[in-house]
Amino acid sequence: MKWKRLAKNLLDRILTYTVGGLFFGMALLVMIQVILRYAFNSSIPASHEALRYAFIYTTFLGAAVLIGSNDHIAIHLATRKLPRSVQRIIAAVGSVLIVALHVYLLILSLDWIGVTGGNSSEELGIPLRYIQIALPIGCGLASLYALNNAFDALFGRNWGRKEPSE
């Protein structure tokens, strides 16, 4: 179990820093674009496309991070009144449904990339498969995290309790 926790913590850190770095880069690029546009009547070519692609990656990687930390959208109003054992089962079933959805999306996205991934982006000229791959990566990571959540809901000793640092 210790190896699972260490692997999850490492993946959490990598993804959190990646998403944070992308957000920082996006904010910096937007500020530079605003300064260039209004102060120098100029702009960086292809910056809008780069921002769009960074946003795509932050969306799919960030969704996986939120599923991993159980901070995704959920309504606990009814389940909080139930016994803890029933709450665990409901949480596990919900996580398994998240896995099923993301595996389905992963399969569909691989087919989609196979059809459209050879096209190039308009401004940057990079193959779109390098951008589109964010979807199956995010779905795969979300599936792993949701499986971990289901396992923790069924067998975890500290399930449902937040970490002391939170």
CA distance 17 to 14: 5
The model's pLDDT over 25-63, given as tens digits with 9 standing for 90+, comes to 999 999 999 999 999 988 888 999 999 999 999 999 999
Domain-located, residue 161:
no
pLDDT of residue 166: 41
Under 8 Å between Cβ of 109 and 116: no
> Does residue 162 sit within a domain?
no
Read off the pLDDT band of 147 (50, 70, 90).
very high
For residue 32, the number of C-alpha atoms closer than 13 Å in the C-beta half-sphere is 12
Residue 163 lies in a domain: no
Q: What is the pLDDT of residue 165?
A: 43
Query: For residue 125, is it within any domain?
Result: yes
**Helix, strand or coil for residue 127?**
strand
pLDDT for residue 19: 95
Q: How many domains does the chain have?
A: 1
- What residue numbers bound the domain in which 115 lies? 2-155
For 90-137, what is each residue's pLDDT tens digit? 889 999 999 999 999 999 999 999 988 889 998 999 999 999 999 999
What is the structure's pLDDT at 2? Answer: 83
Question: Considering the domain boundaries, does residue 166 fall inside one?
Answer: no
Q: Which two tokens stand for residue 135?
A: 């979807």
Distance in angstroms (rounded) separating the CA atoms of residues 149 and 142? 10
**Is residue 56 assigned to a domain?**
yes
